[in-house]
Amino acid sequence: MNEQTAVKEAAPAQTRLPDAQTVTEVQHYTDRLFRFRVTRPQSLRFRSGEFVMIGLMGDPDPKTGRQKPLLRAYSIASPSWDEELEFYSIKVPDGPLTSKLQNIKVGDEIILRPKPVGTLVHDALLPGKRLWFFSTGTGIAPFASLIREPQTYEDYDEIILTHTCRDVAELKYGADLVESIKQDELLQELIGDGLNKLRYYPTTTREESPRMGRITELLKDGTVFSDLGIDGISKETDRAMVCGSIGLNNDLKEILEGYGLSEGANSEPAEYVVEKAFVG
Ligand SMILES: Cc1cc2nc3c(=O)[nH]c(=O)nc-3n(C[C@H](O)[C@H](O)[C@H](O)COP(=O)(O)OP(=O)(O)OC[C@H]3O[C@@H](n4cnc5c(N)ncnc54)[C@H](O)[C@@H]3O)c2cc1C
């Protein structure tokens, strides 16, 4: 064996993940939530609010030793103009993907399938004056993208982001984001005075906080409207996007339909759109 072969054998060629992107930033909020950013494939175009499949290689098959990609749907939390991609993630203790994904560090690679899809997009709504973003938990992710999207402020006079979580610490990602975009020079340049149109309405359901309760209850008893100084929701002026658990989505659908709004889709825009924040 000559010297060259010996070196080759000692350092096997590094295997890159398929559709690999490199992690550029990781921030943990609680033992259940974290945010991370990755490089963006040059060819990837998406509409703010869409989701993609991301993941890691799964454990080797005990029989064959082969590894398959373990992929899950994730809303892109960054806007369509951003050079990188941001994701906001749950940590499910026994979750096949997130039990591993929560350990990623800057410089690691993840798999990202560059095929964005989704219904939480401006194209799926008819023109209106006021846009509501109703979210719970990680359901704020698509709205983190849309509240940094200039079109949101061009198309609407007022934008209301509601975010409901169990505890105050779970609201931090959204609270920091709203604060930071109001200070962000690039966004100021893109959106100008439009940022003043953004109103943030956080609530908690378990831990004591200035505003408590499920958003569905606060809508039904009119608290949201009196808090925000709004008459109510109407088909003529209001549009809504909803992202939460199946239970929340169904309850909000019923409430919005009660105000006379109907559900839209990419192929048939209407007054509100809904997407699951997770399955199960
Ligand atoms: C359209 C769509 C967009 C999504 N976007 C995001 C996102 O932006 N961020 C994100 O963290 N997840 C998102 N999810 C959920 C995501 O696809 C995975 O379910 C999640 O990453 C957990 O993966 P896992 O393999 O660890 O566990 P899984 O086996 O996928 O889930 C195990 C269980 O954990 C619970 N769970 C899963 N995801 C969540 C969640 N986000 N919040 C609360 N409970 C949950 C459910 O009860 C589920 O049955 C999205 C799902 C869909 C359908």
Cα–Cα distance measured from residue 119 to residue 109, given in angstroms and rounded to the nearest whole number: 28
Question: Looking at residues 32-37, what average pLDDT do you find?
Answer: 98
Pick the atom of ligand 1 nearest to 95's CA: 26
Task: Please tell me the total count of domains within the chain.
Answer: 2
- In terms of domains, do 113 and 131 share one? no
- In terms of domains, do 152 and 34 share one? no
Ligand 1 pocket residue status of 98, Cβ below 6 Å: yes
- Judged against a pLDDT cut of 50, whether residue 10 lies above it is answered with no
- 119 alpha carbon to ligand 1 midpoint, in Å? 17
Residues 48, 62: contact at Cβ < 8 Å?
Answer: no
- 100 alpha carbon to ligand 1 midpoint, in Å? 13
**HSE of 150, CA atoms in CB hemisphere, 13 A:** 10
Residue 8 lies in a domain: no
- Judged against a pLDDT cut of 90, whether residue 183 lies above it is answered with no
Ligand 1 pocket residue status of 166, Cβ below 6 Å: no
- 71 alpha carbon to ligand 1 midpoint, in Å? 11
Summarised one tens digit per residue, pLDDT across range 217-266 is 999 999 999 999 999 999 999 999 999 999 999 999 999 999 999 999 99
- Judged against a pLDDT cut of 60, whether residue 78 lies above it is answered with yes
Residue 9 lies in a domain: no
- Judged against a pLDDT cut of 80, whether residue 190 lies above it is answered with no
Cα–Cα distance measured from residue 275 to residue 75, given in angstroms and rounded to the nearest whole number: 10
Summarised one tens digit per residue, pLDDT across range 89-123 is 999 999 999 999 999 999 999 999 999 999 999 99
Ligand 1 pocket residue status of 275, Cβ below 6 Å: yes
- In terms of domains, do 270 and 132 share one? yes
- Judged against a pLDDT cut of 70, whether residue 12 lies above it is answered with no
- In terms of domains, do 128 and 267 share one? yes
Residue 270 lies in a domain: yes
Cα–Cα distance measured from residue 262 to residue 275, given in angstroms and rounded to the nearest whole number: 14
Cα–Cα distance measured from residue 26 to residue 30, given in angstroms and rounded to the nearest whole number: 13
Give the per-residue pLDDT at 39. Answer: 98
Nearest residue by C-alpha to atom 27 in ligand 1: 95
Ligand 1 pocket residue status of 51, Cβ below 6 Å: yes
Ligand 1 pocket residue status of 85, Cβ below 6 Å: no
Cα–Cα distance measured from residue 190 to residue 48, given in angstroms and rounded to the nearest whole number: 15
- 139 alpha carbon to ligand 1 midpoint, in Å? 10
Ligand 1 pocket residue status of 97, Cβ below 6 Å: yes
Structural domain containing residue 260 = 122-276
Question: Alpha helices, DSSP H only, in the chain?
Answer: 3-10, 98-101, 141-146, 150-155, 172-183, 185-191, 215-220, 223-228, 246-258
Ligand 1 pocket residue status of 93, Cβ below 6 Å: no
Count the residues in the chain.
Answer: 280
Residue 168 lies in a domain: yes
Ligand 1 pocket residue status of 163, Cβ below 6 Å: no
Mutate-to-test residue for ligand 1 from 72, 100, 275, highest number of ligand atoms within 8 A of CB: 72
pTM for this prediction: 0.93
- Judged against a pLDDT cut of 90, whether residue 268 lies above it is answered with yes
Residues 247, 276: contact at Cβ < 8 Å?
Answer: no
Which 3 state secondary structure label does DSSP give 191? helix
Nearest residue by C-alpha to atom 46 in ligand 1: 280
Nearest residue by C-alpha to atom 45 in ligand 1: 278
- Judged against a pLDDT cut of 90, whether residue 11 lies above it is answered with no
Domain closes at, from 90, 117, 144? 117
- In terms of domains, do 105 and 138 share one? no
Give the per-residue pLDDT at 16. Answer: 64
What long-range pairs does 98-102 form, CB within 8 A, spacing at least 24?
A: 98/72, 100/56, 100/70, 101/55, 101/56, 102/28, 102/34
- Judged against a pLDDT cut of 80, whether residue 5 lies above it is answered with no
CB-count exposure of residue 63 (10 Å: 0-12, 13-18, 19+): exposed
Question: Looking at residues 23-33, what average pLDDT do you find?
Answer: 98
